Amino acid sequence: MPDRLIFHVDVNSAFLSWEAARRVKLGETDLRLIPSAVGGDPEKRTGVILAKSLPAKRRGVVTGEPISSARRKCPELVLARPDFALYERNSRAFMDICRRFAPVVEKFSIDECFLDMTGTNLIYPDPIKTAHEIKDTIKSELGFTVNIGIGPNRLLAKTASDFEKPDRVHTLFYPELAQKLHPLPIDELYSVGESTAAKLRAHGIDTIGRLAACPVEYVVSIIGDKFGRLLHNYANGIDDEPVTSEVSEAKGYNISTTLAEDVVDIETANRILLALSDSISARMRADSFKAGCVTVSIRTSSFKNRSHQRRLSNATDITSEIYELAKQLFGELWDGHTPLRLIGLSLTGLTRGEVEQLSFFPDEVGDERRERSRLIDKTVDEIRGMYGSETIIRAAAYGVSRDIGKKYKARNDLKNKDDNKHGE
């Protein structure tokens, strides 16, 4: 069996790079060259920095901090709103380029993927040259840069891609561990969080090399058996997890919004539910799923959580049907007067395809109405896909949907990214 050869391709500051590339094509200023960031509305309670440029990073701006805090550090910060239709297009585009070179490509998150290049040495005898070719092709065709890490497994390839950025190719093979991996601080080892790093440092293990040199039993005594053995393997560059092109099926879609002002009337709540339904159903349609169960959740101003769900007789991906059921559930859930600070919506019981349960009593009027609703959704999705998520906003949801439909996707992308990693 040939030695494994894995590439990890990671877009440099993806959300900001994708917005910058779009603006450059329009003849506008390149956001990557000025203090800039992508984030939500600074007037909202949940407005945070999702991505920042290197000039902004040098001014102390960090991902995840409130926009108000970032602007205190950097008053001239240029802020771009998120556009997840744009991000999805760019994500698909750079991974399609990767598929030109690799027999197996695994999407790891919206902005990174693994390529299994094992056995391609006759086609690509120089892996580093091939990585540069992939990187440069993405840059020339799509206008943004990536880092590519090369190694004998996923762990070392991903670690290598995190070395000096942007627009670089790095290797991390076993003979390079002592020089490139082992001197790094312990918290730079994949899956080591703050609490684990603190425990290890308390026992004198402050670098990855020291962890690698420790007897595994000693590591287990500090942080537990399963996780201890895993980290000990990682410190020694051991990772047998395969790269697979099979995408694990989504279990469900979740969206919620923390409100700028507490909701105290049904009209406002319904506008929010429509915006949530619009955003989450569009995301589900893009993945070719239908939902068989809808759940509405609320959080009161006193931080009490409640939820209510109902199964559908037929799975659906139609925004109007999801919204109508969400309104019913909300009406049964809320007492009509307790102030609400959060409203959420979940779609589960997912199925693929066009199969629907047939009725013995056909409803021609209902079927026609559903088909019309599907056509409306399809048209709206296509227009947003071409021109951006704010191109069309459903009238009843105007004023809330542009904030909701974006923050949700950022949270889910980050969550999906974390779910794909070994947590503490």
State the catalytic residues.
112
Return the amino acid letter for 226.
K
Dihedrals phi, psi of 152, to nearest 5 degrees: -85, -5
Radius of gyration of the chain (CA): 24
Count of Cβ atoms closer than 10 Å to residue 419 Cβ: 11
